[in-house]
Amino acid sequence: MKKLSVLFALLAVAMMAKADFVVTASDTPFVPGSEENELVLTASESMQTFTAFQFDMVLPEGLTFDYAYSSAFREEKEKGKWIAMHNWQEGVPEDGEGIRIFVMDGSNNNASFADVTEIITLGFIADATFKGGTITFKKAVFSSTDSSKDVKLDDFDVTVTVAGASQTDVAFTMTAAHAGTLILPFAAEIPADYDWVAYTDITLNGKTLVLGESTTTLLANTPYYIEGEKEGTYTFSGTPTNEAASVKNGILTGVFVDTEIEAGVGNYVLQNQEVNGVGFYNVKTKAKTIPAYRCYITVPSDTESNMYRIGGTTGIEEVTVEEAGDVYDMLGRKVLGPLEKGVYIKNNRKIFVK
């Protein structure tokens, strides 16, 4: 029987009040077919500040929530019961998605939690077919008697993967075209010494593809268009969490195996052709094979074109070289010479130079 481990324990960062308040998750192994799988959430500071907290959990297939406890509100571990001043409740979120966990003072006298950093230990039952996935934590709020100390967290994910499973290596090469596509079966970060940025939200505006917000964090099983000035090859490594052959996000589809796509049905592949340069070109007359871990786009037949250029970026403004002010690259380095094509930071905003 294979074990599972919880990886990538991060990083829920506070949105209000305590900007440095961070939640991390443990890497305790999970075992398929077992009722003794635990995940511990820990705060970056003492829980003594707070009197109550709640969050919603959305679980992957094959994982069931079972119980909760914590040294922050318990004197000893005892499943399904509460001891001393605090108790926990399980409920259903307003939107009906997932499970809501709510912890408060059982005596209603606003007693604070213990002076510990452990937030809560969550117990899960993993069925025999459980193969890993992502636990999404949403709407996490920590309340205090002093509302100025309340904390609300961004939604965050904890990825559960098979411990000891063979890792997959995915090589990505940035060519002289300074553009490419990528989908990974695991989460990864673009290395800090590469100026590559990734986009997954892509929309049509006439014959132009408009890019959404850029990121250097690559989510598992998510197709991306990537651009950057630094040429070269980097190999991403991780444990796969997906068994599907492809994943679609909007008009962008990523494939995990070599995949033949049809001609004449609105499919487009990224190419750097001599006349029109970099863009997504129509697969018109002959089917084309998309290599594993690469992506293509599909548009409705009534909007078809010979090619789609990659245009502006949502939240990124185009500027001319002549504009005044210090300009920095995506690694935070000041750019002293003329700006080449790419994404930069100027006056605390992103700019895109064509």
For the full predicted model, state whether its pTM sits above 0.85: no
Domain extent listing, the chain? 4-162, 168-313, 317-353
- Which of the two residues, 323 and 210, has the higher pLDDT score? 210
pLDDT in the model for residue 102: 86
- Residue 158, number of CB atoms within 10 A of its CB: 24
> Which of the four pLDDT bands, split at 50, 70 and 90, describes residue 159?
confident
**Percentage of residues in the chain with pLDDT exceeding 70?**
75
337 burial via Cβ count (<10 Å: 0-12, 13-18, 19+):
exposed
Write out the two tokens for 172.
Answer: 């990505």
Residue 89 or residue 181, greater confidence: 181
- Whether residue 24 contacts residue 11, with contact meaning beta carbons closer than 8 Å, is answered with yes
The continuous run of DSSP H or E covering 203 comes out as strand 202-205
Buried b / exposed e along 141-153 (16+ C-beta atoms within 10 A): bbbbeeeeebbeb
pLDDT of residue 261: 95
pLDDT of 59 strictly over 80: yes
335's CB contacts (< 8 A; 6+ apart) are: 327, 328, 329, 344
Q: Is 96's pLDDT higher than 80?
A: no
Mean per-residue pLDDT over the chain, rounded: 79
What pLDDT digit, counting tens, does each position of 272-330 carry? 988 788 999 999 889 999 999 999 999 986 666 888 988 755 444 443 433 446 777 76
- As a whole number of angstroms, the distance between CA 159 and CA 138 comes to 14
pLDDT digits over 163-205, tens only? 555 678 999 999 999 999 999 998 899 998 999 999 999 998 8
d(CA 146, CA 175): 55
The single-letter DSSP state of residue 302 is: G
Q: Decide which of 3.40.50.300, 2.60.40.680, 1.20.1260.10, 3.30.870.10 is the CATH code for 4-162.
A: 2.60.40.680
- pLDDT tops 70 at residue 222: yes
- Confidence grade of residue 340 (pLDDT, cut at 50, 70, 90): confident
* Span 229-270, pLDDT tens digits: 999 999 998 878 776 889 999 999 999 999 999 998 899 999
* Nearest by Cα to 125 from 26, 41, 59: 59
Residue 339 reports pLDDT greater than 60 = yes
- Residue 11 vs residue 66, higher pLDDT: 66
pLDDT at residue 78 above 60? no
